[in-house]
Structure 1
Amino acid sequence: MSNSVVAKRYASALFELAQQHGQTGSIQEEMNELKKVFRDNKDLGELFGSPKLSSAKKKEMIANIFKGANPLVLNALYVLLDAKRMDEAQNVFEEFLALADDAAGIAEAKVYSTRPLTEQETNGISATFAKKIGKHSLRIENIIDPSLIGGVRLQIGNQIYDSSLSTKLDKLQRKLIGS
């Protein structure tokens, strides 16, 4: 998540509009897609930031590229364009997604393991740790890390829960050397 005050303001305004119109879920899906599009196409951000194209031409391009997008999303992009803040678009998408997740009681989590987790293991981790942080569920990204030897390491925001075998062995080694 970004630390941009500007992005937070734009995302908050869009989130409030989405809630008022009962479209939070659909806009959240579109924000995920926009985030991918802007991340995978760096030239797109540069194009919309280019002073060589008029604002009207840029708006026309946005309308064509994102044809079929929710009008609230298109208007948000137009507002960013008019305010010369297209460089903040990616941050706005991230902030909106964070607001939507927070409102739904969902937290992002990274689970490092030596092998892919089963659906049952993922659901168990989500249920257990969501309660610990006061959320309904976790959206888990499973990252394979053979250096753990066994067990898992879980990161939720800036909190880390580590029950990996490599960490336990390191602690044991420090105890043995220290005594």
Structure 2
Amino acid sequence: MSSPAIANRYAFALFQVAKEQKLLDQLEDELRVVREVFNQNKDFNTLLSSPKLSKDKKKQLFQNVFSKANPFLQNTFKLLVDRGREGLIAQIADHFIGLADSEKGIAEATVTSTRPLTEEETKALSVAFAKKLNKKDLRIENKVDSNLLGGIKLRIGNRIYDGSLKGKLERLERQLLR
């Protein structure tokens, strides 16, 4: 079985427990922090994958780093260490967050613009595109890229809506070259 499939199974099991215990929002918030820790600390990943570090030491490391995490989450970490799958934690967090967002009718989006968007612009984009996707809301992350020249580029999952000036110029260039 592939790593994404395994990560998805663990995420789904944790998601079911979170729903039953009415801890969905809390575990989602905690897993966002966990994902951030794993994505920003490559040394932490390297340390966890070291064969020199025993399972007990890895469990203790998780206990120390995530001491305020929910017991369900801590037990999941211990289980993953026991099974030698601690390298899947970031993927499990991603899958869990996706499941939680689907449950709440939320989609995650990345908006790339030439300048930071105002709160009103972000809300307007969220309302407009949430309707197109039959979602209640969009959780928007704004990235700034001055190379766009103007406009915005919106990415929701594997869909890209390119309304940037750079994108329009590239499409025009391709048409002219045909």
Q: How many residues align?
A: 177
Map residues 1-179 of structure 1 onto 2, 5 A cutoff: 4-173=4-173
Q: What are the ranges of 5 or more consecutive residues in structure 2 without an aligned counterpart?
A: none
Matched to 1:133, the amino acid is L
After superposition, the CA RMSD in angstroms is: 2.0
8 Å Cα contact 1:49/1:84 also seen in 2: no
Change in Cα spacing, 1:42 to 1:177, as seen in structure 2 (3 Å) is closer
SS at structure 2 position matched to 1:116: coil
Structure 1's 166 and 52: CA in aligned 2 closer, same or farther, altered over 3 A? closer
The share of aligned pairs that are identical, in percent, is 46
Q: Which amino acid aligns with 2:102?
A: D
Identify which range, 52-61 or 27-36, moves more after superposition: 52-61
Question: What do residues 70-107 of structure 1 show as CA deviations (whole Å, max 9, x unaligned)?
Answer: 00110110111011001111111111111111111111
8 Å contact 1:150–1:166 — kept in the other structure? yes
Shift of the alpha carbon at 1:172?
4.4
Query: CA separation of 1:51/1:149 partners in 2, compared to 1, >3 Å: closer, same or farther?
Result: closer
Between stretches 166-175 and 6-15, larger displacement belongs to 166-175
37-46 vs 125-134, greater mean Cα deviation? 37-46
Residues 167, 55 of structure 1: alpha-carbon distance in 2 compared, 3 angstrom cutoff = closer
From the superposition, tell whether residues 147 and 73 of structure 1 become closer, same or farther in structure 2 (CA, over 3 Å). same
Q: CA deviation at 1:3?
A: 7.0
C-alpha separation in 2, matches of 1:50 and 1:124: 47
Aligned partners of 1:54 and 1:153: how far apart in 2?
A: 46
Unaligned runs of 5+ residues in structure 1 are none
TM-score (norm 1): 0.89
Q: 1:60 to 1:147 in 2, by over 3 A?
A: closer
Query: In the aligned structure 2, how far is the partner of 1:168 from the partner of 1:150?
Result: 10
- Structure 1 residues 51-60 or 11-20, which shifts more? 51-60
Is the contact between residue 34 and residue 93 of structure 1 (CA under 8 Å) also seen in structure 2?
yes
How far apart are residue 133 of structure 1 and its match?
1.0
How far is the alpha carbon of 1:170 from its aligned partner? 4.0
